[in-house]
Structure formats: C-alpha cells, structure tokens
Structure 1
Amino acid sequence: MKFLILLTGFLFGNLIYSQQVYGEWKTIDDETGVTKSIVKVYKDDGQVFGKVKRILREDKRDVRCTECKGDLKNQKVEGMVILKNLSKDDNKYNDGTITDPENGKTYEAKIWLKEGDPNTLMVRGYVAFFYRTQEWKRIEN
C-alpha cells in the first residue's frame, strides 16, 4: 500500500512539474524552422525570467547585442537575460518584457504552455495590438 501511495505521489509530482514553464527550451526561428538557442526559464523572487544558456551555432557564441540599450548594450547574447519580470496570471505569465538580441528591441511579453502540449512554450512579444508568437520546445532532462 505504501508503495502505491509513493508511486502515485511521484507520478503526480512529475506531471505537475512537467506542466510548468520552468526548465530549458529550444528556441526555433519561426521563419526558417532552425533551432537557434537554449533558454533557461526560471523563477526568481516571485517572477519569471529567461536566460540564453547556449547559442547553438558555434560561430555565433561570441555575438554581442550591439543594438541593445542600457545595461544590455554590448552584452554577450549567450548568458543574457532576455525574458524579464513575468508574473503568473491563471495559466499565463505576462506583464514582463522580452528582448530580441538581433535588433536590440524590447517588447511586452507573455508566455504560456500550448494547450494540450506541455512541451511547447508559446512566447509572445507585442507592442499595442501588434504581436509575434514563437513556439519553443522543452528539452527533456
């Protein structure tokens, strides 16, 4: 009986964890379909952030964000925090920002798990009612 309770707890715990936005995600260029980087999404002080853990093209690993403003100006993209200050609101995280290191622009951001697919993270950057949404794929550990 104890084994059954432990097994149920373990399986339920894994299901809950796999339903979270936290973890490592492959970013995929929505125009070319090429996997570009790995972003680690994590929680810090009650908010959600995302940091570029690894750029997959070796020749791009030392690229700096020359177009970025403020503290991000000339920072290496690998290691840069691109998702900032997202807060949970039901099944979505919003009220934060995302920076596109390719053009240095920062947008309002929203992320959520794709309905029916906890291994796909929907990442949306927007200005007013103009937006662009990408699908990032979970990296299984």
Structure 2
Amino acid sequence: MNRFIGRAARRVALASALLCGALAAHAQTDTPVGVWQTIDDHTGQPKALVQISADANGDLSGKVIKGLGANDQPDRRCTACTDSRKDQQILGMTIIDSMKKTGEGYDGGHILDPENGKVYRCKMHTEDGGQKLVVRGYMGISLLGRSQTWVRQQ
C-alpha cells in the first residue's frame, strides 16, 4: 500500500512540475519581451533584430541589436531623424519606448522608423502563442497607420 501511495505521489509531483513548466513557458512567450525579427515592408525580407525588454514598472522598450541583409551595416546612422537620435548609429538605438500593458496588448508608446526618421504612436500584441508580434505605428488614431508582423527569434 505504501509503495502505491509513493508512486502516486511521485506521479502527481511530476505532473505538477510539467504543468508549471508549461505554464511558465506560455507566460514567457505570451509577452513581447524577447528578440524579434522585423520584416521589410517593400521587399518582404528580414530587416533587423529588435530586442524588447521591460523596465521595473513593466513598461516595454525596444532597441535594434542587429541589422540583417542590406541593413547589416554597423555604422549605419539615422540621418533622417529629427530628435536627439539625429545622426546616431541605428545599431543599439532605442526605437520603441513607453509601451504599457493594456488588456491583451500594449499601447501608449512610440516607435521610430529609422528609414524616414518619423516617430509614430504605437500599439502591439502577440499572436500564434507568442511567436508573432503585430506592431502598429500610427498618427492620431489607430486607423491611420500600418501594421507589421514580427517573428520571435529563439
């Protein structure tokens, strides 16, 4: 009888550990925190890797950590920028800031397009179990903008 109880307790402990691990993995992938591959709107080719991180308040920001393809030029600068990022290197540049959790997504922040130097309001949410990030940059209202789908990198 004691052997049966011992085996049952081990099975329950194992099942509990597996479930906790699965829930933790889901929680980690259901957030935008991580590294994302951006896609060029015009060519459809990978453009850059952006690392999104959270600060102590849970607000998200994102910086360019690698250029891909034709954008893989470490000394490339944001010549079109009009704010403090003018002529700064794009590699290492923060292009997303002040994103706050709102319901199922994040909103309230800004995103810089280094190609044209414009700063847009931004909202984002994950899809496909956290493997895709839909990023929408817009002016004024969300209807006046465009969305990109970024792909999570492992």
Q: TM-score, with normalisation over the residues of structure 2?
A: 0.84
Structure 1 partner of 2:74: 61
1:1-141 correspondence to structure 2 within 5 Å: 1-46=12-57, 47-57=59-69, 60-114=73-127, 116-128=128-140, 129-140=143-154
What one-letter code is carried by the residue in structure 2 that aligns with 1:90?
G
Residues 53 and 59 of structure 1: CA distance in aligned 2, closer, same or farther (over 3 Å)? closer
Q: How far is the alpha carbon of 1:45 from its aligned partner? A: 3.1
Question: CA-to-partner distance for each residue in 1:98-138, whole Å, 9 max, x for gaps?
Answer: 00001111000111113x44211001100124101000000
Q: How far is the alpha carbon of 1:36 from its aligned partner? A: 0.6
Give, in whole Å, the separation in 1 of the partners of 2:45 and 2:53. 24
In structure 1, runs of 5+ residues without a counterpart are none
More helix by share: 2
Q: How far is the alpha carbon of 1:59 from its aligned partner? A: 5.0
Structure 1 partner of 2:8: none
Of all paired residues, the percent bearing the same amino acid is 35
Question: CA-to-partner distance for each residue in 1:36-55, whole Å, 9 max, x for gaps?
Answer: 10000110132110100111
CA RMSD of aligned residues (A): 1.4
Q: TM-score, with normalisation over the residues of structure 1?
A: 0.92
In structure 2, runs of 5+ residues without a counterpart are 1-11
Max radius of gyration: which structure? 2
Question: Is contact 2:26-2:129 (8 Å) kept?
Answer: no
Runs of 4+ in 1 over 6 A off after TM superposition: none
Question: CA-to-partner distance for each residue in 1:7-29, whole Å, 9 max, x for gaps?
Answer: 21111111111111110000001
